[in-house]
Homo-oligomer: A and B are copies of this chain.
Amino acid sequence: MKTAEQYLESLRKLKLKVFFFGKQIESPVDFALTKPSQNSVALTYTLAHDPEYSDLMTAKSHLTGERINRFTHIPQNSDDLVRKVKMLRLLGQKTGACFQRCVGMDALITLSSVTYELDQKLGTQYGTRFNEFLKYVQREDLVCNGAMTDVKGDRRLRPSQQADRDMYVRIVEQRKDGIVVRGAKAHQTGALNSHEVVVMPTLAMREDDKDYAVSFSIPSDAEGVLHIIGRQASDTRRLEGGEIDVGNAKYGVAGHETLVIFNDVFVPWERVFMCGEYEFSGSFVERFASYHRQNYGGCKTGVGDVLIGAAATIAEYNGVQDASHVRDKITEMVHLNETMYACGLACSYEGKRLPSGTYFVNPLLANATKQNVTRFPFEMARLAMDIAGGLVATMPSERDLKNPEVGRYVQKYLKGNANIPTEHRMRMMRLIENMVLGVGMLESLHGAGSPQAQRITILRHADLETKKKLSKTLAGIEENPKTNE
């Protein structure tokens, strides 16, 4: 397993083509805007070497028997699924941010079963190829960018119906040695911190959409790949040179996202994991989505722990920690946070073995997990803002604090509890601002699919027929009523 330093070194070797704010970036590794997001990923390496956390952070490869980083591991039992959630909560607690590496992990886990099933049913070699790829990822301890979400164009139209046929990533050519693909994937969290881009289809395809039923992996600096970094609220504060105003200077808040563009990129056959088998795309998507929705019961509750801690701390700094309404609001935050965690755990403990040996979460409970994450973090954010007060949005800058002329007024007048340095209070206010007014809220909603996507899955797995029978039995209604009364 790599160390954090080795990881960063390996990133520096990539020749990524990256734009931000209308300019090409030399290397994202040493760019202040993206630095915090690398620190978050690097922590997934650091903690894997920490004996205190090795139980959560590492696993034994089912392919090689080697000890590997859990982010490259395929769950072989329910316990692996549970540890996945607990690892994510741990990292959420340590970073207060998105650490980005789980999307690639879920792509690998999904491919492990889908390629197996493809091979079983169609006699293809995808599973074999994938296992070779997986061994490489585990051995090199790589970060993968799991790229699913296409840009989609007009949502009413299927891929092959779009005015511009490139709105979903597609195969534009099949060659002897591989395929050529074109299109773009949106919202790619942590793309610049990844060694590989693992591409997946984004929805259930029909026959007409065959060319869009494609999955593969390529290095993130492959020829023809272009990254454009998306803007986040207050993103340029990281470029200002200070520390306090960023809120969470080390880890930022939510990684970064890029729009990844594939300009006729070549993929050799040994990295192609699906190529036109559209009838498998639906289960591919649902499976990936369920694994990824499971995660939100981990990472978001870890981040929630930080927000609860920040709310409790700022209450002290403001002098209101004993007010009954403040205690009640903190209790509510804890309650909501633990409810999300409970859902993440339950869908994991209730996991089942797939034919490939990979364990699958309970999809109904995994979707309920994420559905709660589209709601509760908003209420938690609202409560944290309530407790912290208006300064979250009106506080002078770090530079004002340090200015020789006005700094003393900032020191004097932003003091809360007289025993707490003003700077501490300012730092905590900024941490809260960072967490409640940023990309994290959007991620709670749309990460791993929109709220509506979960609702559709929940209804599909609800087994209404059984429930209807239960109610009819208790109401004294025979199952096959004769309609003539």
Contacts and interface: CB of A to CB of B under 8 A. Distances in A.
A368 B339 contact: yes
A412 B164 contact: yes
Contacts of A411: 485
Interface in A38-87: 82
Interface stretch (A138-146, A268-276, A447-455): A447-455
B306 A413 contact: no
Interface in A406-465: 406, 409-424, 427-428, 430-431, 433, 436-439, 441-443, 445-447, 450-452, 455, 458-459, 462, 464
Contacts of A477: 424, 427-428
Given A249-B476, A378-B378, A392-B442, A319 B468 contact: no
| Interface class of chain A by DSSP | helix
Interface string A286-317: 00000000000000000001111110110000
B427 A485 contact: no
A231 B455 contact: no
A163 interface: yes
A342 B234 CA distance: 35
Give the number of times this chain occurs in the complex, counting copies. Answer: 4
Contacts of A96: 470-471, 474
Contacts of A474: 95-96, 248, 250-251, 306, 431
A186 interface: yes
A236 interface: yes
A244 B22 CA distance: 14
A330 B396 contact: no
A177 interface: no
Contacts of A422: 485
Given A151-B414, A350-B345, A445 B233 contact: no
Contacts of A469: 309
Contacts of A405: 19, 24
A196 interface: no
Interface in A347-386: 347, 349-350, 364-365, 368-369, 371-372, 374-375, 378-379, 382, 385-386
A122 interface: no
A385 B405 CA distance: 41
A383 to B, nearest CB: 10
B368 A228 contact: no
A80 B110 CA distance: 31
A402 B156 CA distance: 28
Given A231-B245, A309-B469, A309-B470, A319 B154 contact: yes
A283 interface: no
Contacts of A393: 230, 232-233, 254, 257, 438-439, 441-443
24 contacts: A19-B405, A94-B470, A96-B470, A156-B320, A157-B319, A164-B418, A230-B391, A230-B396, A231-B394, A233-B433, A257-B393, A309-B470, A312-B471, A324-B328, A325-B452, A327-B459, A331-B459, A334-B459, A335-B368, A335-B371, A394-B439, A423-B485, A427-B477, A428-B475
Given A166-B413, A309-B471, 7 more contacts: A231-B396, A244-B476, A250-B474, A257-B393, A310-B471, A343-B343, A428-B477
